[in-house]
């Protein structure tokens, strides 16, 4: 097979077109088709991304209801509803009070149980706010282990949000 200038030009053209098509497909594939592939996409999916990033962290919120009958003993689960929400750091509760999202009584009750607040919806438009419990970070099976069994990515902030 003879390699000449025309062959090189055709191969270069094919390469450029292939890279262009690949880049176009990659740049137009967003999380708008029901997929969120990164924490940045999740951060942008919450109604108030700047507020959430400044005072807490974006989160997946899954609403599921379970029903259990006693006679006969059986359990039923609703279809999960998945949406974006925000978890507020404990030291930032004052911003929720300032926005009128929680009352001092709600703060006292949540603080007594050593929890924090999370909400769904826009902070400026009557969000659904709940006092939430944090799971034990040591039981997180997604955290990878490093050398000498050191946890990679587990920060003190993640342990006590």
Q: Quote the pLDDT of residue 148.
A: 47
Say what the pLDDT of residue 31 is.
45
Predicted pLDDT of residue 142: 62
For the chain, where are the alpha helices, taking DSSP H only? 5-28, 39-45, 49-55, 93-98, 104-112, 156-159
Between CA 110 and CA 114 the distance in angstroms is 6
> What's the confidence (pLDDT) of residue 129?
92
| Segments making up each domain of the chain, as ranges | 35-159
Strands 73-77 and 128-132: unpaired
What's the confidence (pLDDT) of residue 35?
Answer: 64
The confidence score (pLDDT) of residue 160 equals: 60
- Which residues make beta-bridge pairs with 129? 119
By three-state DSSP, how is residue 74 classified? strand
- What's the pLDDT at 151? 47
d(CA 77, CA 66): 5
Per-residue pLDDT in tens (0 to 9) along the chain, 161 residues: 565 676 667 667 777 767 767 666 555 545 455 566 677 888 888 888 999 999 999 998 888 888 888 888 888 988 888 888 999 998 999 999 999 999 999 998 998 877 899 999 998 888 999 999 887 766 666 665 554 444 455 555 555 66
Q: How far is CA 67 from CA 49, 64, 77, 83, 133, in A?
A: 34, 10, 6, 22, 22
70 burial via Cβ count (<10 Å: 0-12, 13-18, 19+): exposed
């Amino acid at each position: 097979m003879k390699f000449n200038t025309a062959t090189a030009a055709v191969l270069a053209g094919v390469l450029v077109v292939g890279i262009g098509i690949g880049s176009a497909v990659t740049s137009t594939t967003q999380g708008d088709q029901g997929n969120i592939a990164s924490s940045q996409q999740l951060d942008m999916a919450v109604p108030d991304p700047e507020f959430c990033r400044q005072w807490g962290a974006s989160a997946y919120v899954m609403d599921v209801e379970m029903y259990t009958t006693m006679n006969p003993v059986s359990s039923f689960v609703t279809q999960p509803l998945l949406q974006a929400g925000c978890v507020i750091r404990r030291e930032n509760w004052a911003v929720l009070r300032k926005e009128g999202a929680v009352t001092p009584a709600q703060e006292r009750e949540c603080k007594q149980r050593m929890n924090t607040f999370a909400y769904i919806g826009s902070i400026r438009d009557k969000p659904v706010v709940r006092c939430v419990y944090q799971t034990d970070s040591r039981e997180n099976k997604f955290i990878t282990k490093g050398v000498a069994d050191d946890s990679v990515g587990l920060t003190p902030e993640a342990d006590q949000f």
